[in-house]
Chains A and B, each alone.
Chain A
Amino acid sequence: MMTEKELIIIGGGPAGLCAANSAAESGVKVLILERSPRLGGQLIKQTHKFFGSEKTYAKTRGFDIAKLLIDDVLNLSDNIEILCDATVVGLYPNHEITVYQKGIYQKYKAKSIIVATGASEKFLAFENNDLPGIYGAGAVQTLMNLYGVIPGQSIVMVGSGNIGLIVSYQLIQAGVKVKALVEAAPKIGGYLVHASKLRRLGVPIYTSTTIKRAIGKESVEQVETISLNEKWEMVPGTEQIIDVDAICISVGLSPLHQLLSMANVEMKYVNELGGMVPIVTEEHETSYKNLFVAGDVIGIEEASSAIIEGYLVGLIASKRLGKSHPNYETLIQAYHDQLTNLRSGPFGAKTRIGLAKLRGENHA
């Protein structure tokens, strides 16, 4: 049996929730499909306060932002239907999808679809990388911040992007000894304000250094690190052994492109955006007509950008369905300005270069 819907949003994280909000306010009937048991995406495990402007919930903690976004959607329940534990397993021509939810396999058809599937964590190849005690940063956040369980007593963090830095600090707050943070690049990846906090607490940060192997019988007992030269090659003789019972890997994210790729959406691999991303128009529409994208699935950025993109794309998809938001023009302009603002400055450079590559533009 095929159930027909006006707009289906795949993913109930920040981008999906905000897109649903905009669409419902425009008068569109929305179905949100979320594969996990609850809405909110990665925000629900983020206990730190956000940076940025008031409009993107600066100074509010991640899980509180999730609560606000979820409440907004629940308040629009006349227009928004939500299915959790519902994984979209197939995306086909004519806006047809298949969904697997708690043992039941169903087909849906929509007039328009917004894909907001987010991203998955990257992992590393090193010796004994399957030993118990090795976690991704997402798993550590889930364990500690959602369930109140610490991953170990002492840990080494691999990767100095903002997630690596923030999770290291949260580990310390939870009473875990962070023995060191290693970063393969010659420079710290995330904001120096986060890195400085760790340094003040006495955590050594080793740049141009990577993990060589994990050591242990049944689970992690030690980690061996090694320095890298300017060609990213390991330098023999620089090995260092650190006693830990856990290792956290935080080396970036890849967009969850699988649904788009299986529907033969035109894609491009853009390293700066995290991997395979869809080629989109200015309106965030893919080569598959009336299939839009928002959030990390079109390039890894912070949740603030996903929120704004969600609001923006929800408006655009609704207008295409013949239902314009009363303040359409003003809001579109405001969201574009906010995105430009978020992507300005040195930390937005990667996204700016990535987006230029995606559009096929030349850049220095």
Chain B
Amino acid sequence: MEIPYTVKPRPDTGLYNAKLGIWLFLASEVMLFGALFSSYVLLRVGAEPGTWSMGLMDLLVGAGNTMVLIASSMFVVLAWAELKQGNLAGYKKWKWATIACAVLFLFVKWGYEWPSKFKHYDVWLNNATVLQEKFDEGYHEVASHGDHGDAAHGADVEKYVKKIYTTRFFKEESKDSQLAFDDAWRNGTLALSGHINAYEEAQIDVRITGWKADAGVSEDAADEALVKQLAKQDTEDAAGLRLNGGYLREKTDYDTAKRAEYALGQAGFTVALSVAGYKRVEAHPWMWRTKRATEDIGGKPRVSSIVFELDYSHHKGIITLDAGDIKRLSAYEPKHSTFFGIYYTITGLHAAHVFGGILIMLYNMLPIGLGLWHRDREQFTNRIESFGLFWHFVDLVWIFLFPILYIL
């Protein structure tokens, strides 16, 4: 079956079919992104003062990525112009340039912007006094700016924290920002922002405290399950452990301990986990949530303390946070706040469009896609024009996203 009007315009619409199709698709896209944009505005306007972290966005990266996308939008239309003139080599040149720009855009987004946020944390404490002590400890050196000879304390630190807070949530100081900050400072609802440099991770003892013969598991099967969890696989040890109880593993890691607890629980054992001690781990962990640090293991937290490097402290504000003081801990991931929720939704949907575009462009560069050029040049040119319309739309969305996300 031959598809009609791939080259000639259909008399009643005045367009070749693919072009009308792509415009209709773009119309549906306008409504899709329009719904998200208006949701963003709704959430932005309705946000409580001091909850919209727009000051965290790196404007330079945003502007750079805008330029990259603008360039790609221009290259794609130049590729089409080359085809119009019958120049396949010119088309390939511009198309590769477009693909390179699109890949660069996604690389910046998925390789730098997002991952750096997943390692960046806010920590809320459950005590205003402790919070102020931590601010003092972390910022007393940088807050002084050398004006005071010695390091600054108290009011100077408060001023420094206020500046960071205002830039992040309000950009400029105003009556609203003043009120919101005073409130948050007094009530201790401010977050400590920065990176986790190291932490004290629990070393866990796994102890067998009993075995229920009536749990529906045979002795042999229970011993077999036990052997699997032993460090040294020895059947005699297993029988002894089952009858008398005792330590299965000592100072093991969380995953091993939890796995043993679950598997042995299935085999009718009762298992007790306890923290034998803590081992320091030097790492910048990804995507931690509150429970990852504070989970209770036999009465002690999984992480006893966190070595936290505060933002804007020029690497001097390194403080230690006890797990007991932590109310909430979250990386800058979607669940962090409404702001990051809508931020990842919109930029994620846009990035998915860019990714899809790259796949289509690659198809149109491969022999299978180029085959059409050799069969019907005009149809291929139209196909590239239709793709170009989609690609310009992706650029258009970003043109609006840039001021909304990075500036407002």
Q: Are A and B part of the same complex?
A: no
A residues apposed to B, CB below 8 Å: none
